Amino acid sequence: MSPNKIVVKAAVAIGLALVANGAAQANDIKGKVSVQGIKSAENIAVYVDAIPEKKFDAPKAPVVIDQRKMAFLPHVVAVQQGTTVEFLNSDPVGHNVYWPSVSGNKKLAHNLGTWPKGEKKPFQFNDVGVASLLCNVHPEMSGYVVVTPTPYFAVTDKEGNFEIKNIPAGKYTLKTWSEDGKPTTQAVDVSGATATVELTVKK
Ligand SMILES: [Cu+2]
């Protein structure tokens, strides 16, 4: 094949890829969370709320939350409903993992027990809401699993920035959850390639 033909073939392939991408209309939300009366804009979960008549398969890949140096790491984890979280103990001491409720519903309380260093214990989070992780051996330990109804979620970085990728074009409701602030709700239009969003979370 001549070099020219290769170039033409490559151009056609790229063109087809662009057409396919356009048809799929997978867009992004880029945003920044500002805080009022809260010390940090980090670790705030931002997610697209349930979309009417749309169901999502539970993700197959587990998410790991480490217990390391007497802390749950990461401190805040967002997962799609149905995700299995593997709780890993990386400390030489036994930890305990339990949550007294999911978003205040005590029927969803669960105690995973205690296990030694290097071992993991899985739990599938099937209920939307927030599980406040605690360890009954070390009262200073705390963490959060934010279970979202869609696969479109993020957790803010130190500056409050977040990015949610590959969202089908449409209008949605964006919600936030923060350890210290009130939850927020905001409409978001993801019709263009990238929706830019500014959110404020207040004490
Ligand atoms: Cu502990």
The two three-digit tokens of residue 132, written as one number: 């406040």
Q: How far is the CA of 17 from the centre of ligand 1 (A)?
A: 50
Q: How far is the CA of 96 from the centre of ligand 1 (A)?
A: 6
Element (DSSP H or E) covering residue 15: helix 3-24
Q: How far is the CA of 114 from the centre of ligand 1 (A)?
A: 9
Q: How far is the CA of 110 from the centre of ligand 1 (A)?
A: 16
Q: How far is the CA of 71 from the centre of ligand 1 (A)?
A: 7
The whole-angstrom separation of Cα 21 and Cα 66 is 37
The two three-digit tokens of residue 117, written as one number: 């260093």
What pLDDT band is residue 3 in, cutting at 50, 70 and 90?
low
Give me the mean pLDDT over the 178-197 stretch. 95
Q: How far is the CA of 69 from the centre of ligand 1 (A)?
A: 9
What pLDDT, on a 0 to 100 scale, did the predictor assign at position 22? 46
The whole-angstrom separation of Cα 169 and Cα 173 is 13
Please tell me the total number of residues recorded for the chain in this structure. Answer: 203
The whole-angstrom separation of Cα 85 and Cα 87 is 6
Q: Sort 172 into a burial class: Cβ within 10 Å, 0-12 / 13-18 / 19+.
A: buried
Q: Is the pLDDT of residue 1 over 90?
A: no
Count of Cβ atoms closer than 10 Å to residue 145 Cβ: 24
The two three-digit tokens of residue 157, written as one number: 């970085």
What pLDDT, on a 0 to 100 scale, did the predictor assign at position 6? 53
Q: Is the dihedral of CA 126, 127, 128, 134 positive or negative?
A: negative
Write the pLDDT tens digit of every residue in 22-81: 445 789 999 999 999 999 999 999 999 999 999 999 999 999 999 999 999 999 999 999
